[in-house]
Amino acid sequence: MSETLAIYGGTPAVDSSKVVNWPPIDEIDEKMVMDALHQRTQSRGIHNLEFEKEFAAWNGNQYALFTNSGTAALHMCLVGCGVGAGDHVLVTAYSWSSSATCILHHDAIPIFVDINPETFLMDPDKIEAAITPRTKAIIVVQLHGLCDDMDKINAIAKKHNLKVIEDACQAHGALYKGHKAGTLGDCAAFSFNQNKCLCCGEGGMFVTNDKDIYDAAAKLWSFGETARPEQNRDYHAYALGWMYRNNEITAAYGRAQLSKYDYYFKTLRGNGEYLLENLKGTPNLLLPYEPEWATHNWYNFNLRIDFDKLGITDPQEQVKFRNAVAAALKDEGTGASVWQRFTLPEMTVFRAKNAYGHGYPWSIPGADEGVDYSLEKFPNALAYSRKYISLVKTLRAPNGLDIAEQVRDGIVKVFSNLDQIDPERINAIVEARKKKK
């Protein structure tokens, strides 16, 4: 079956006029936001306090603090866990940059661990070899909305007396053996930016069940103070702090979205399961999988090109071909894109071993001992970064199975016609469009 791909002028597989943009907004959002706008208090009022309570109750955490980003919540996790200058913190080799730069901001050193090639998550079997005498914590990124094998990781952490921080920024509602992401370690960070399954424009949530971790994190969150802004403050800096709070209007929007989350989750699960089932057998396409321990939230439904089968071995050729396939999929209306193109150890801030200038924090005496960012150590992360394509927002509510079916058709169309993929030609088309803009 040969069809003209949309990128070459054919008809797109997806009727984009039927796809609703993320996030869907209704009268609940409007009412909540207008309420916040008109109340006297616009910071640390009822919406902040209720959002924290509601999120904690929904997720199963004792404590929650609403922040202005997921990255801020990650910083709070590090200080909550007592990570300090010269400590080592383990983190996956493939994630968003702030999963690892949050470590540098606390003057500590990221130690990367390669991913498992099937889950794309930190490989628990490679953790112990990465532990050094300075290691204090492990940041487990529940990437794409899939939880890592937490029993294994928590057992290693216990044996070596390490704290476990969850980067749950993509994992709202994802489960590990029936337990929610954000309840699986010592503390966790969620993000509510617009890409995430739960969003409020920009924002995040720090969660924990540990009072001491909570108190330390709370100081960092608001100027090093110990009293919440809604309490009697003494305006005394008890520790180093930032201003990581968020406002009432954003909190009200977050509460409105949270009230609809169970429907969002079900819809996305349904679409993910549909694709998983109905893309089976597509030529040269590797599908994600759900390990027996996990309930994926399908934040990101990943497609991988089977380069072994295609016989494309050169890394640069792989990247060119992948980018062309992603552009073709995008033009079919699937919403496909390429997310993080680099592994973390490839990023300049780590390669240069310089964050705060003068080589700091690696220049702390002894801190650089046993630190090795040689790329040969991360073959799975590198291979993954070259062959994956992500599907993110198109599969979200209210887009249901009718859209998922069209997305499936678009994917099958492109992967059944890979002989039409001409990276040079597609690159020229994409570049010409950019110039027109």
300 lies in the site for ligand PLP, by CB under 6 A? no
Whose Cβ is closer to ligand PLP: residue 274's or residue 299's? Answer: 299
Spatial CB neighbours of 186, under 8 Å, sequence gap ≥ 6: 80, 81, 163, 164, 165, 208, 210, 213
In whole angstroms, give the CA distance from residue 392 to residue 197.
9
69 lies in the site for ligand PLP, by CB under 6 A? yes
Tell me how far, at minimum, the Cβ of 188 lies from ligand PLP, in Å: 11
* Span from 91-99, 117-125, 235-243, 384-392 in contact with ligand PLP (CB under 6 A): 91-99
70 lies in the site for ligand PLP, by CB under 6 A? yes
Tell me how far, at minimum, the Cβ of 122 lies from ligand PLP, in Å: 12
- C-beta of residue 132 within 8 angstroms of C-beta of residue 107: no
325 lies in the site for ligand PLP, by CB under 6 A? no
Query: DSSP letter string over 117-130?
Result: TTT-SB-GGGHHHH
295 lies in the site for ligand PLP, by CB under 6 A? no
Tell me how far, at minimum, the Cβ of 235 lies from ligand PLP, in Å: 27
Residues that bind ligand PLP (rule: CB under 6 A) add up to a total of 15
C-alpha distances (whole Å) from 162 to each of 20, 158, 179 are 44, 6, 21
Q: Which residue is nearest to ligand PLP (CB)?
A: 70
Whose Cβ is closer to ligand PLP: residue 70's or residue 333's? Answer: 70
- C-beta of residue 256 within 8 angstroms of C-beta of residue 33: yes
Q: How many CB atoms lie within 10 A of CB 292?
A: 5
Q: Name the percent of the chain in helix, strand, coil, to the closest 5.
A: 45, 15, 45
Tell me how far, at minimum, the Cβ of 303 lies from ligand PLP, in Å: 18
169 lies in the site for ligand PLP, by CB under 6 A? yes
182 lies in the site for ligand PLP, by CB under 6 A? no
Return the structure tokens found at 253: 């929007």
H/E segment holding residue 305: strand 301-305
H/E segment holding residue 188: strand 187-191
Member of 71, 154, 380, 385 binding ligand PLP (CB under 6 A): 71
- C-beta of residue 80 within 8 angstroms of C-beta of residue 214: yes
The backbone torsions φ and ψ at residue 408, rounded to the nearest 5 degrees and listed phi first, read -55, -45
Member of 22, 96, 265, 301 binding ligand PLP (CB under 6 A): 96
Member of 141, 146, 395, 403 binding ligand PLP (CB under 6 A): 141
- C-beta of residue 79 within 8 angstroms of C-beta of residue 216: yes
* Span from 2-10, 86-94, 95-103, 414-422 in contact with ligand PLP (CB under 6 A): 95-103
Tell me how far, at minimum, the Cβ of 96 lies from ligand PLP, in Å: 4
Member of 48, 59, 92, 95 binding ligand PLP (CB under 6 A): 95
Residues in contact with ligand PLP by the rule CB under 6 A: 69-71, 95-96, 98-99, 141, 143, 167, 169-170, 191, 193, 204
